[in-house]
Chain A
Amino acid sequence: MTGYLVRRLGQALVVLWVMSFVTYGLLALMPGDPVDLMLSGDPNVTTADVARLRALHGLDQPFLERYGNWFMGALQGDFGYSRLFSAPVLDVLGPRLLNSLLLMGLAFLLAVSVALPASIAAARRPGGMADRLINLLCFAGISVPPFWLALLMILLFAVSLGLFPAGGMATVGDGGLGDRAAHLVLPVLTLAVASIAQYTRHGRAAMIEVLREDYIRTARAKGATERTVLWRHGFRNALIPVVTIMALDFGALFSGALIVETMFAYLGMGKTIYDAVMGNDYNLALVGLLLATSVTLAANIAADIAYALIDPRIRLTGRGRA
């Protein structure tokens, strides 16, 4: 297991290095630069101002030189300054990454807590009343656009019922645990809805397949209770494909979080990366994307470990899975 993890971490570092080069290149290929954005709409900026600002931001240097400077700095722990925030990028991204992980983690927990029981309930009697109802809700959850759902949540729970705050991270001047929790409810619910629907669909399909297996029939023939059959024999075996989907989906949560973070004015990574790309903040966008990649890679490694824990037949070795 240790050898396997070391190998996967090594691979992850190579992926991150390649990603840094590709991302930097793609950002450099995008039209315009930060100075162009300062210019748009302001007719007072002169030609001399433009030349001075380009030199000041290092935009007059060739791409490889700029990337080389950044990379050497990054190796020494200096990831550069954010132009949009006028602060070191890690200072900007650190708290936002934690905020995003909190939001995504809670949404993930909620999704799993709801989806797994729902998928088992649906799979027990395929085509039954419960299955149909759960399927209907799943399709609704998958189909509803997150921004629209967010707006509905705000209108219902914040405007009409006044139960939860409409947005933000905390009430100005409060910021206690209860207050922060209240501000998380609507974003977490919105972000979790699509995941609940997706996990339930995959869980249901996997459970139906597993429940048709011979060993399930054998377990029933041996007199095992329905609960034991479902949870001990069925659920555990159905979990592997579901874990795969969840690991892949964790990366996708970042993109979902962008919309939710924007709608609820929640300071997270998704929104910051979007702003950095649109605002031509190369350093911030680059490091933000690398952090998002790291989270996805970590989720995949965690999924591999989960496979071994769920199914003892799977062993992780330094040479790959056997």
Chain B
Amino acid sequence: MRRSARVLTIWLLLFLSALPLARPADAREQLVIGMTQFPTTLNPMIDSMLVKTYVLGMAQRQMTIFGHDWEPICLWCTELPTFENKRAKRFPVLDATGKETGREGVRTTYTIKPGAVWGDGTEITTDDVLFSWEVGRHPETGVADSSSYQEIVDIEVEDERTFTIVLDKIDYRYNTLGDFQLLPAHLERAAFANPREYKNRTLYKTAPGTPGLYNGPYRVTEVNEGAYIVLARNEQWQGKPPAFERIVVKTIEKTAALEANLLSGSIDYIAGEAGLTLDQALGFEKRHGDTFDVIYKPGLIYEHIEFNLDNPVLADIKVRRALLHAIDRKAISDKLFAGNQPVAHGAVNPLDWAYYDKLPTYPYDPSRAKALLDEAGWTEIRNGIRHRPDGTKLSLEIMTTAGNRIRELVEQVLQNYWKQVGIEVTIRNEPARVFFGETVRKRAFPAMAMFAWLSAPEALPKTTLYSSSIPTEANNWSGQNATGYSSPEMDRLIDAIEIELDREKRRELWARQQTLYATDLPVLPLYFRSDAYILPKWLKGLRPTGHKYSSTYWIEQWRDGSSASQ
């Protein structure tokens, strides 16, 4: 026994003697960011993950994005094309025989900014643009949302820095390049020799530390798959130099562990884009608000409840309106989220210029809810639950992703509100993969499904509201209009918005579209989710955007505010 004790002691001493004391990162030369996810690839085209966009915001800039004011801006182009500056021109679309089709297309000309270079000093040229288009539109490269590439009919090259995008239709997004990502042709062309294998052979995967893959203020120098990504200053960057020598993005999936790492000094900052949930951040702020700043930023994640409009009870608009009048969303936001998640009255965020502020709203009004239910024929109350005179009980089911604590909490609060007006609501939740993979996809939820959509500024709800986007067995459950909402007027408005180039006229169309949405209520709007950014007091210059182009696109503005040199 004494020998075992000796062995144990030696074993422990070996460990203890090898220990360097846990030390915080050098806070001034290095910034360590904590996140809960790790990108599956750093290739800007393959997979659309928020966390990848976050990392690439520091290292890989694209031609156009949305700015802090949610308006499109140029990153690598000199100016956005418009009809006024003559960089956008209409042309009649011809058919295969050369006859006019009656439709109009648009040519938009972009010029790459002088000084745009890859991390190895190679200039960014139109050759990169052409190569990126070739990769993006190829059906076998695995690009999730390929529309930004597929919609381009041709790219006409004027010189090494100027090119013209040809579209055979005009829509309101004509002067942005959407998700068009730039790839370095001089490095990636070899990996694209076999397009089907491209996603596995791209240098972003096989040699992500290659400097020439990046064109931002930082470049990736080390990737430890699943654990961390290290970025160092890009020596070739010709814009404002970033303040930190090195950025480390660490992945710690459990938020409790993420929080503990922040407190222990292992990380400096928890990114709002993939960090603590709002309730966790509120709790953290209460405990550690004196040592950390917490920024709450509402964004484009639209939490809502989809109605299954095939359900005869929910097919009645009066019941849908009663459901909305019966709940106090403002109180829910105040009590559960300290007022940090603004109530949604529709799918368009109030921060978006397209938002219409005079649309019909449904304030908390239980009396109105009861009256609407009476009008709908749910007049008899037995054991507190409404029934029709034929004995049918007003009972509905709500579903959401099991294990999502906030959604499950909100469900219970809603259930209680609805009970007060005589609506029985039962809860049946499923794991996310079952819920999204089967239930929502195949419209198998009997009454209500609570989840969120992530969109972009002025995003057209074509896949979620258009009548041809209703998933059915016949179309192999394609489309994302899970409510089954079908309105010729909504289809017309969506089509009209898409081709209207005049912003003021489009604003009018958006107003009509949002009014129709709020009137028909195919979904029950809840709130716009907020991200919580937890940063040390010394970190300054960080401005969340609220949309998918994260705060890291302005990493040059981040700085150590406590430094004497600042």
Contacts and interface: CB of A to CB of B under 8 A. Distances in A.
Interface stretch (B15-23, B274-282, B410-418, B495-503): B15-23
Contacts of A272: 226
A158 B21 contact: no
B261 A167 contact: yes
Nearest to A95: B225
A192 to B, nearest CB: 11
Given A158-B260, A167-B257, A185-B19, A56 B142 contact: yes
A36 B227 contact: no
B225 A92 contact: yes
Contacts of B420: none
A120 B1 CA distance: 8
Q: Which of A83, A86, A227 has the most CB of B within 10 A?
A: A86
A178 interface: yes
B264 A178 contact: no
A52 B436 contact: no
A291 to B, nearest CB: 17
B225 A113 contact: no
B396 interface: no
Interface residues of B, number: 78
Q: Which of B252, B438, B459, B480 has the most CB of A within 10 A?
A: B480
Nearest to A155: B260
A310 interface: no
Q: Which of B5, B200, B264, B440 has the most CB of A within 10 A?
A: B264
Contact of B18 (A41, A52, A182, A230): A182
Interface in B129-155: 139-140, 142, 144-147
Contacts of A263: 254, 256-257
Contacts, number: 209
Nearest to B204: A86
Nearest to B253: A262
Contacts of B248: 172
A165 B18 contact: no
Contacts of A174: 20
A36 B441 contact: yes
Interface residues of A, number: 75
Contacts of B436: 32, 36-37, 39-40
Contact of B433 (A32, A51, A162): A32
B433 A280 contact: yes
B250 interface: yes
A36 to B, nearest CB: 4
Main secondary structure of the interface of A (DSSP, over half): helix
A224 B392 CA distance: 85
A49 B433 CA distance: 20
B18 A168 contact: no
A177 B18 contact: yes
A166 interface: yes
A230 B451 CA distance: 63
Contact of B22 (A31, A150, A163, A265): A163
B8 A114 contact: yes
Contacts of A185: 15, 19
B46 interface: yes
Interface in A215-260: 227, 230-231
B27 interface: no
B566 interface: no
Contacts of A166: 22, 257, 260-261, 264, 266
B433 A37 contact: yes
A32 B253 contact: no
B479 interface: yes
B196 A162 contact: no
A50 B254 contact: no
Contacts of A40: 432, 436-437, 440, 451
A182 B41 CA distance: 30
A31 B264 contact: no
A312 interface: no
A267 interface: yes
A322 interface: no
Q: Which of B139, B144, B434 has the most CB of A within 10 A?
A: B144
A84 B205 CA distance: 12
Given A50-B478, A231-B1, A44 B145 contact: yes
Given A46-B147, A162-B264, A178 B20 contact: yes
22 contacts: A30-B433, A32-B437, A36-B437, A37-B433, A43-B459, A51-B478, A53-B142, A83-B40, A85-B225, A86-B40, A86-B199, A110-B11, A117-B4, A147-B254, A158-B260, A159-B264, A162-B21, A178-B18, A182-B15, A262-B253, A264-B257, A280-B433
Interface of B: 1, 4-5, 7-8, 11, 14-15, 18-23, 25, 32, 40-41, 46-48, 139-140, 142, 144-147, 196, 199-200, 202, 205, 222, 224-228, 230, 248, 250-254, 256-257, 260-261, 263-266, 432-434, 436-438, 440-441, 451-456, 459, 461, 463-464, 469, 475-476, 478-480
Across the A-B interface, the 6 shortest Cβ-Cβ residue pairs? A32-B437, A47-B478, A40-B436, A178-B18, A31-B438, A181-B18
Given A163-B22, A168-B252, 11 more contacts: A36-B433, A41-B454, A42-B48, A45-B144, A51-B476, A85-B40, A85-B225, A158-B260, A166-B266, A168-B266, A264-B257
